[in-house]
Amino acid sequence: MKPLDPRDPLVGMTITELERAMMSLGEKPFRGRQIADWIYAHGIASFGEMTNLPLPMRTHLEEHFRVGSLEERGRRETPDRRTRKVAYALDDGGLIESVYMSTTRRYTFCLSSQQGCGFACRFCATGRMGRGRNLTSGEIVEQALRLRRELPPGQKEFNVVFMGMGEPLENYDAVMRALDLITGPHGLHVPTKRITISTVGLVPQILRLASEGRRYRLAISLHAATDDLRSKLMPVNRTFPLEPLMRAVRTHIERVGERVTFEYILIEEINDTLADAAKLVRLVGQLPCRVNLIPYNPIGPGRFRRPSPERIQRFVDHLGPRVPAVTVRYSQGVEIGAACGQLAGEKEIALR
C-alpha cells in the first residue's frame, strides 16, 4: 500500500474551486482558470508542464497540491492495441480498472464508478468482489483524462460509458459532478449524447435523472424479462422489480426524449430461448429503445455458458422485426479480461 499523500488533488475541482484553492495559497484567482485549462483542456499531468505559471508558483503549488491521485499499476492490451485495460491504485490502496476501446469508427472509455460492487449480479466478476467504496468525482474524471492521453494524435472525440466497476447510480452525486466536468465547456467538453450511464435499475435514481432533465444516454441492465428469472440473476430485482423499473424507464424516456438501451446478456439455456425472446418483446417492444445483446463473457468456473452463434442468431432473428433496434455486442478484450463483467481489480496485473 502506498503512503497517504496529504496533498489534495486538483483533478475534480471546478473552475470556482480551483480559483478558491489558488486564493488559499495567496495567488490570484485567474490562476485557477489557467490551471483548469492545463488539466482539462490540455490534459497535462504535472505542475512542471504548466509553462505559463511562474516557476516559484509551480513549486509552491507542488507543495500543497497534486494534480491527480490515481497511480497506474498495470495494463493489458490486445495485440492490435485496440482494447487496453488499465489498473489504477487509489489513495487507500484499492484497485480500479478502466478500459480504452477503439474501432475504426469510434473511441470509447469505459469508466468505473465504485471500487467493487455491492449488487452481486450472478454473472458479473465485479459483483463477486463485494461492496467497496464510492469513487470521488476526481477519481472518475481522472480516469477519463488518463484514457484521453491514449488517443491517437489528432483524435479528439470519444464516448464515455459507465460500464466499468460499480453501480454509477448508487454513487449519484459524484458521478453527476464528474459528468459536469466531463461535459463542461471548461472541462473536457464532451457532448452529453456521448455519455452513457448503465444501471442495474435503481428506480429512485432513474426518476431523479429524469426530473433533473440530464440528457445522458441511459442503459438498463435487464438480462431477463420476468421477475422470477431476473431476481435469480440480479438480486436487486427483489427491491426494484420489473413493473416499477419499466415505469421509471418510461418516465425517463418522456422527460428526456431519448430512447433507452436495454442490455441483455445471452446465457445459454438460462435466458436465450425463443420463449425468452418473446417475453422480452412483450416487455420492451412498444418502447423507443435499442436492445443490446451481449453474449455472455466467461468469468471463471460456473455453470453459465455463452450460447452458440446459431442460438444467438435465432434470438436476434426473433427480436429484429419486433423491437425498434437490436444490436449484438461482441465485447472487445475478452482475452485480456477487459470485457463486460470481467473487471475485478485483478491483483496479478498490478504485479506486472
Three-state DSSP class for residue 252: helix
Query: Residue 329 Cβ, how far from ligand SAH at the closest point, in Å?
Result: 9
Site residues (vs ligand SAH, CB under 6 A): 123-124, 163, 167, 198-200, 221, 263, 265, 294, 296-297, 299, 340-341
CB nearer to ligand SAH: give 39 or 124: 124
Query: Residue 104 Cβ, how far from ligand SAH at the closest point, in Å?
Result: 23
CB nearer to ligand SAH: give 50 or 344: 344
Cβ 220 vs Cβ 249: under 8 Å: yes
Instruction: Give, as one character, the DSSP assignment of residue 96.
Output: E
Q: Quote the cell numbers at residue 121.
A: 449480479
Q: Shortest CA distance to 221 belongs to which of 312, 294, 158? A: 294
**Would you tell me how many other CB atoms lie within 10 Å of the CB of residue 91?**
16
CB nearer to ligand SAH: give 21 or 338: 338
Q: Indicate if 348 belongs to the active site.
A: no
Catalytic pick among 97, 142, 167, 170: 97
Which helix H or strand E contains 66, and what residues bound it? strand 65-66
Query: Residue 190 Cβ, how far from ligand SAH at the closest point, in Å?
Result: 19
| CA–CA dist 1, 93 (Å, integer) | 5
CB nearer to ligand SAH: give 65 or 296: 296
Query: Residue 304 Cβ, how far from ligand SAH at the closest point, in Å?
Result: 7
Q: Indicate if 97 belongs to the active site.
A: yes
CB nearer to ligand SAH: give 97 or 263: 263
| CA–CA dist 186, 162 (Å, integer) | 21
- Say if strands 8-9 and 65-66 run parallel, antiparallel, or are unpaired: parallel
- Give 334's contacts (C-beta < 8 A, 6+ positions apart): 297, 298, 342
| CA–CA dist 134, 346 (Å, integer) | 18
Residue nearest to ligand SAH (CB): 341
Instruction: Give, as one character, the DSSP assignment of residue 53.
Output: S
Catalytic pick among 110, 121, 124, 340: 340
Query: Residue 167 Cβ, how far from ligand SAH at the closest point, in Å?
Result: 4
Q: Quote the cell numbers at residue 96.
A: 480500479
Taking the alpha carbons at both ends of the chain, their separation in whole angstroms is 16
Query: What residues act catalytically?
Result: 97, 340
